Amino acid sequence: MSRTKKFLTLFCLAILVCSCLVLIGCSQEKPAEVAAPVDQEAAKFGGTLVVAKPASPPHLDPDKATGPEISDIMYHVYEGLFEMNDKYEPIPQLAEGYTVADEGKTYVITLRQGVKFHNGKEMTSDDVVPSINRWLNVNGGGAKVKPFIASVTADSPYQVTVKFTEVYAPFLNMTASYASNQKLVIRPKELIEKFGEEVITEPIGTGPYKFVEWIPDQHVKLAKFAEYVPVTSPASGEAGARIAYVDEIKFQFVTEPAVRVAGVQTGEYHFADQVPTDQYDEFAANPDLQAIIVNNDKNMLLTFNMGQAPFNNIKARQAVSMAMDLEELGRGMVGNEKFWTLEPSLFAKGSIWYDADAGQGVYNVVDLEKAKALLKESGYDGKPVVILQGREDPNESPGAMVLKSQLEKIGMVVDVQLYDRATVVDLRAKVDTWNIHLSPFRAVYADPQVYGAWMGTKGWITNWDDADSKKMDDIFARMIKEIDYTKRLAIVKEWNKEVYTTLPYIKTVNFSRLHLANKSLQGYVDFPQSCFWNVWLEK
Amino acid sequence: MFNYIVRRLIMLLPVLIIVAVIAFLATHMMPGDPVRLILGDFATEDQVMALKKELGYDKPLFIQFFVWIGQIFHGNVGESLFLHQPVTEAILSRLEPTILLALVGQTLGVVIGIPLGVLAAVRHRSWIDQSAIGFSLIGISIPNFWLALVLILVFGVNLRWFPVAGYRPISEVGFGVIKYIVLPGVTLGFMQCGIIARMTRSAMLDVLKQDYVRTARAKGLSETVVITKHALRNALIPVVTVIGFSLATLLGGTWIVETVFNIPGTGALAITSIMRRDYPIIQGSMIFVALIYVLVNLLVDISYALINPRIKYR
């Protein structure tokens, strides 16, 4: 073949490759315009809302697992006796109201009348009592409450009494907690009798949308419940009035983020749950899209395994704390500074449990020389410190790499082990396979003690068992019994202080996920759990 | 030939048993605990042990194996831990899109790859040959997921000719299923083109040098007859082998393409099951893939006899 022909062939191939690259690089250059909040009076009824979710649920019973992929969908079908408002306070929803008596050991809950289940039956105490009992026996949140329960009784068709053996402060917060599917949802008693403690495969609730169809790994369809009667109070968080404007919601499971984005761009999806944050500027500049940063979303806790050296020694933990430059960690772990902040309080601003004084003198105080000295004092023997993380998580694995470089500066030998999630969960439950684990938590909780980790030091993976853990357990024990908010907040602050003194975990940064919506979706209000009542579609 | 086919089908049983043993051991010995994934991060040890007991995972491995084998002999391959449906039902319900994708990808590969390979061999060392080599190299080298995303961007987002992702079954949309299959089918076909074109070219170059091809030309036969009737037919054996192998791979499920295009096929099912340690589905998928490979290889062997009458099976 002549040189000319060879050159022409290679040139054509190069053009082909470059054209593909240009097409990929092309983006719509349009003026930036952020969608303004829309008045509900402009709302329109009708249409099918399509939501692209990144993960498929294993089943549709929020009592039987803790993953948000279930409750994100099914909390449109089910409602709680209480729901969280945007200040993260429990507000009566299926309850009309409640009184607390007997120094906090008795809750008398009045039920709303005329509330219909999706099978047409009216909700009464005959349904609420078995729902509470199932929640206590099966749900992860309810199971934490159960040891404190004396009795649950129906006083009348619209009144239920819950009695405790001792004061249990988190009760109402726990019933409204959406974290880890802890919410107490109300179902017909016939359904509970039919399924008992097994996975409920016939979802029937009282929500504005009723269950229609589930094709595993493909989609879940919900349809508007025509007989739904909303509460009259204004919508706030997950509490208040819920209006079903759209006729149908289809939750489509789309694992690939680029495809979720493409679907919103073409209008095939109206909402994409969790899209890459590094494309935020591009999304914000596109007038056909709405880039939604989730406020008060998550925080990343560096968790120590204190069941073995070196972190069974507080000096080693202090050394790590002083070696960590949290701003560098935030940039490396999350990236765009619109998506992360430094925040020493375990609960974010906006929560009634926020502690403005948390972490003083400890949080993000970097002193490498002092850190090296502390590490030496701890008796660290040079054995590799294993940071165990999930490979697929967009924050955990880069966070681990930044952490590695920071800890190596103080003389620690670090081994970052990245695995798939199933392996991480398995290894993390063992004592001798890891030393540090970055674990995402929510930035705001219904209650300081929704998690077993904060009811007792045995409730999380830290393997912590020494004099300091007993002191922490004492704080937890007092916190759980204190129903006066002001006094309980004081104990929460004491807890924050103890965390920063003993460092069983290190609070790093608060960070946010990014959702993407098509401009046709209106009325969406940012909340850590996506809710699609009170939204409508503009044609 | 009939005896040969029967013997091959009988040999299927020991193959599947060996695959079943390997599948069971591989799934249970890899790290990761499906129970903790089902229950979530904050499950207590009591909850974990209770569910393990319910699922039978607290028993010794050999007991679990014999229980499972016993179920298989009763026609029960198990039930998915996450989908709560029988394994056979889960796999069969996902066969339609996988078969469609495999057929489209393979058809594109054959219809374009074989003529391209023949042309390249006939015009050996010409610019046509060089272009064909370049094209096939690109087809083999380009990552599936990159090509998939480019096609989505161009044809889904910019031109809006096809949906960006998703699938609706034939029973729901009839011939409308085509629009969901085109982009993923082209993604798969592109790579198949490259592989088949290269193999065809290589086989044809060998055959075109043979004496009987020279004889055919010397007898005054047209070039078209020489190429198609004398050369190509003899060159097809290795090409059919490659086609068979790639068809088996496609029928087993191409998880990258299925995942990117959000197509609920057997490949996506297998990968999702591995990620969440859905032991029954993983085991069932491995047996299914082994079955596909054995059956496709049998078809390939039968086709040898059809292409080349000198090959006879007894």
Distance CA A58, CA B81 (A): 8
Yes or no: say if A14 and A7 are a contact pair by the CB < 8 Å rule: no
Does any CB of chain A come closer than 8 Å to the CB of residue B100? no
The Cα of A374 is separated from the nearest Cα of chain B by a number of Å equal to 32
Measured between CA atoms, the residue of chain A closest to residue B142 is: A17
Yes or no: say if B87 and B79 are a contact pair by the CB < 8 Å rule: yes
pLDDT at B13: 83
pLDDT at A40: 62
pLDDT at A470: 92
Name the region of B171 (left: φ>0; alpha: ψ -120 to 50; beta: rest).
alpha
Q: Which of B305, B147, B115, B307 is nearest to B227 (CA)?
A: B115
Has residue A494 got a pLDDT over 60? yes
Best mutation site among A255, A283, A433, A457 for testing chain B: the one with the most B CBs within 10 Å? A255
Question: Across the interface, do B130 and A252 touch by the CB < 8 Å criterion?
Answer: no
Question: Across the interface, do A256 and B262 touch by the CB < 8 Å criterion?
Answer: yes
Q: Is A346 helix (H, G, I), strand (E, B) or coil?
A: coil
Q: CA-based Rg of chain B, rounded to a whole angstrom?
A: 24
Chain B residues touching residue A429 (CB < 8 angstroms) = 33, 36, 48
Does any CB of chain B come closer than 8 Å to the CB of residue A255? yes
Cα–Cα separations (whole angstroms), residue A539 to A45, A248, A337, A520, B163: 11, 15, 35, 6, 19
pLDDT at B49: 86
Question: Across the interface, do B36 and A143 touch by the CB < 8 Å criterion?
Answer: no
Chain A residues touching residue B268 (CB < 8 angstroms) = 217
The Cα of A198 is separated from the nearest Cα of chain B by a number of Å equal to 11
Which residues are CB-contacts of B82 (< 8 A; sequence separation ≥ 6)?
Answer: A58, A59, A216, B34, B38, B273, B276, B278, B281
- What residues 126-145 of chain A have any CB closer than 8 A to a CB of chain B? 140, 143
Q: Which residues pair with A299 in a beta bridge?
A: A441, A510
Q: Which token pair is B269?
A: 């099912």
Over the range A185-224, which residues count as b (16 or more CB within 10 Å of their CB) and which as e?
bbbbbebbeebeeeebeebbbbbbbbbeebebbbbbbbbb
pLDDT at A10: 60
Distance CA B3, CA A53 (A): 53
Question: Across the interface, do B156 and A20 touch by the CB < 8 Å criterion?
Answer: no
Q: How many CB pairs under 8 A join A and B?
A: 141
Q: Which of A56-65, A73-82, A177-186, B223-232 has the highest mean pLDDT?
A: A73-82
Best mutation site among A259, A265, A393 for testing chain B: the one with the most B CBs within 10 Å? A259
Does any CB of chain B come closer than 8 Å to the CB of residue A251? no
Q: Which token pair is A402?
A: 């930044």
What residue type is assigned to position A353 of the chain?
Answer: W
pLDDT at A400: 96
**What's the residue count for chain B?**
314
Best mutation site among B262, B272, B285 for testing chain A: the one with the most A CBs within 10 Å? B262
Question: Across the interface, do A262 and B157 touch by the CB < 8 Å criterion?
Answer: yes
* Secondary structure in 3-state letters for A302-329: EEECCCCCCCCCHHHHHHHHHHCCHHHH
The Cα of A423 is separated from the nearest Cα of chain B by a number of Å equal to 4
Does any CB of chain B come closer than 8 Å to the CB of residue A1? yes
Question: Across the interface, do B260 and A256 touch by the CB < 8 Å criterion?
Answer: yes
Residue percentage of chain A with pLDDT more than 90: 76
Q: Is A386 helix (H, G, I), strand (E, B) or coil?
A: strand
Question: Across the interface, do B130 and A9 touch by the CB < 8 Å criterion?
Answer: yes
Chain A residues touching residue B126 (CB < 8 angstroms) = 1
Q: Which of B48, B134, B276 sits opposite A422 (nearest CB)?
A: B276
Q: Band of the pLDDT at A31, cuts 50, 70, 90?
A: very low
Question: Across the interface, do B160 and A266 touch by the CB < 8 Å criterion?
Answer: yes
Assembly ipTM: 0.81
The Cα of B224 is separated from the nearest Cα of chain A by a number of Å equal to 24
Question: Across the interface, do A266 and B149 touch by the CB < 8 Å criterion?
Answer: no
Q: Which of B83, B130, B165 sits opposite A254 (nearest CB)?
A: B165
Measured between CA atoms, the residue of chain B closest to residue A23 is: B154
Q: Which of A5, A6, A426 sits opposite B32 (nearest CB)?
A: A426
The distance of Cα A73 from the centroid of its chain, to the nearest Å, equals: 14
Q: Indicate the pairing of strand A106-111 with strand A385-390.
A: unpaired
Helices B279-307 + B12-29 axis angle, to 10: 150
Chain A residues touching residue B258 (CB < 8 angstroms) = none
Strands (E), A378-519: 385-390, 414-419, 436-442, 505-511, 514-518
Chain A residues touching residue B29 (CB < 8 angstroms) = none
Question: Across the interface, do A217 and B157 touch by the CB < 8 Å criterion?
Answer: no
Q: Is B95 exposed, middle or buried (0-12, 13-18, 19+ CB in 10 A)?
A: middle
Question: Across the interface, do B32 and A420 touch by the CB < 8 Å criterion?
Answer: yes
Q: Which token pair is B79?
A: 């039930």
Chain B residues touching residue A58 (CB < 8 angstroms) = 38, 81-83, 276
**Each residue of B65-122: pLDDT tens digit?**
888 888 888 878 888 888 878 999 999 989 999 999 999 999 999 999 999 999 999 9
Q: Is the peptide bond before A310 cis (omega within 30 degrees of 0)?
A: yes
Yes or no: say if A372 and A411 are a contact pair by the CB < 8 Å rule: yes
Count CA atoms within 13 Å of residue B47 on its CB side: 25
Region A226-238: mean pLDDT is 94
Has residue A264 got a pLDDT over 50? yes
Q: Which token pair is A82?
A: 């209480």
Does any CB of chain A come closer than 8 Å to the CB of residue B38? yes
Does any CB of chain A come closer than 8 Å to the CB of residue B139? no
Cα–Cα separations (whole angstroms), residue A351 to A233, A453, A498: 21, 19, 20
Per-residue pLDDT of chain B (314 residues; tens, 9 = 90+): 788 888 888 888 888 889 888 989 888 888 888 888 877 776 777 778 888 888 888 888 888 888 888 888 887 888 888 887 899 999 998 999 999 999 999 999 999 999 999 999 999 899 989 998 998 899 889 998 899 999 999 999 999 999 998 898 898 889 999 999 999 999 999 989 999 999 999 999 998 888 888 888 888 888 888 888 888 888 888 888 989 888 888 887 788 899 899 898 999 899 889 988 999 999 999 988 888 888 888 888 888 878 777 776 66
CA dihedral A458, A459, A463, A465 (to 10 degrees): -20
Does any CB of chain B come closer than 8 Å to the CB of residue A465? no
Has residue A72 got a pLDDT over 50? yes
Q: Which of A56, A253, A266 sits opposite B157 (nearest CB)?
A: A266
Q: The pTM is what?
A: 0.85
Q: Which of A1, A24, A140 sits opposite B126 (nearest CB)?
A: A1
Has residue A338 got a pLDDT over 90? yes
Q: Which of B130, B131, B277 sits opposite A422 (nearest CB)?
A: B277
Give the count of beta carbons closer than 10 Å to the beta carbon of residue A250: 19
pLDDT at B161: 93
Does any CB of chain A come closer than 8 Å to the CB of residue B40? yes
Q: Which of B39, B166, B261 sits opposite A66 (nearest CB)?
A: B39
Count CA atoms within 13 Å of residue A186 on its CB side: 27
Q: Which of A216, A256, A452 sits opposite B42 (nearest CB)?
A: A452
Q: Is A390 helix (H, G, I), strand (E, B) or coil?
A: strand
